[in-house]
Amino acid sequence: MKLRIQFSKYGPLRFIGHLDVMRFFQKAIRRAGIDIAYSSGFSPHQIMSFASPLGLGVESRGEYLDIQVNEPMKNPMNAQEMKGRLNAACVEGIEILRIVRLPDNAGNAMASVAAASYTAAMKQDESVRQAGVSLSDFSCLEPVIPDFLAQDQIFITKETKKGVSRMDIRPGIFSLSVHDGVLEFLVDASSAGNIKPYALLDALLSFAGKETPPFWTVQFTRLETFTRTADGKLIPLGDVGEAF
């Protein structure tokens, strides 16, 4: 049986990397007594797949993990009981939000990712002011967004294993707006066209003639991760499954 787990990552744990998150869940699943399936071979490992890895320092309410459990389970439990057990095994900074059962033909979380929604807000602590950052929020960007999106192409430089390349991110910006000084956007998060939040912010500020503040002065939050249906509609990854 394939299950999809939605979880949040926040606070100090936003600074731990993807491999540490994976190791954490391997231990938490064992502590929760979930009858997870293991791969075969000389070095069996838990069968799990994470959606798009989160950048260091970014908080999220839309992280996803797929696991395979044995059927029937040695210790049967429904989604609510499993959620409770996992949360009891978690630490402050990671919270299980929901668990659904996936259809047998569902693709894994990583391969299914198509888009992600984010917010970007200027931090309001003293260290930001001491750093001499002039921006207090992103209200100044609201008037330039229509012209920014009216461009046929928006190029950024992207570092890859093969070196530095130029990437046109305009096709991957699905929505962009400012509300109460907070930047909100929905962008491509697929493996082929993934747009990093800071790269979009930098491109927008450059277009507006503003200096881009250091990464650490901005709090990015991933709100949700989406997949595409057969007819092209974007839906949250968790909506693919159903309660059990």
User: Binning pLDDT at 50, 70 and 90, where does residue 129 land?
Assistant: confident
Q: Which domain holds residue 210?
A: 113-237
Q: Does the residue 244 lie in any domain?
A: no
Say what the pLDDT of residue 62 is.
98
Q: Report the percent of the chain where pLDDT is more than 90.
A: 89
- Give the pLDDT confidence of 134-192 residue by residue, as tens digits: 899 999 999 999 999 999 999 999 887 788 889 999 999 999 999 999 999 999 999 99
State how far Cα 30 lies from the chain centre: 24
**String of DSSP letters for 18-86:** HHHHHHHHHHHHHHTT--B-B--SSS--B-EEESSPPPTT-EEEEEEEEEEB-SS-SS---HHHHHHHH
- Identify whether residues 92 and 141 lie together within a single domain: no
- Give the pLDDT confidence of 36-71 residue by residue, as tens digits: 999 998 899 999 999 999 999 999 999 999 999 999
- Identify whether residues 120 and 131 lie together within a single domain: yes
- Identify whether residues 156 and 201 lie together within a single domain: yes
Q: Does the residue 185 lie in any domain?
A: yes
Q: Domain boundary residue among 63, 86, 111?
A: 111
Say what the pLDDT of residue 160 is.
76
- Cα–Cα distances in angstroms (integers) from residue 28 to residues 34, 94, 96, 232, in the given order: 9, 11, 11, 35
pTM of the model: 0.94
CATH number of domain containing 20: 3.30.70.580
35 vs 130, higher pLDDT = 35
Total domain count, the chain = 2
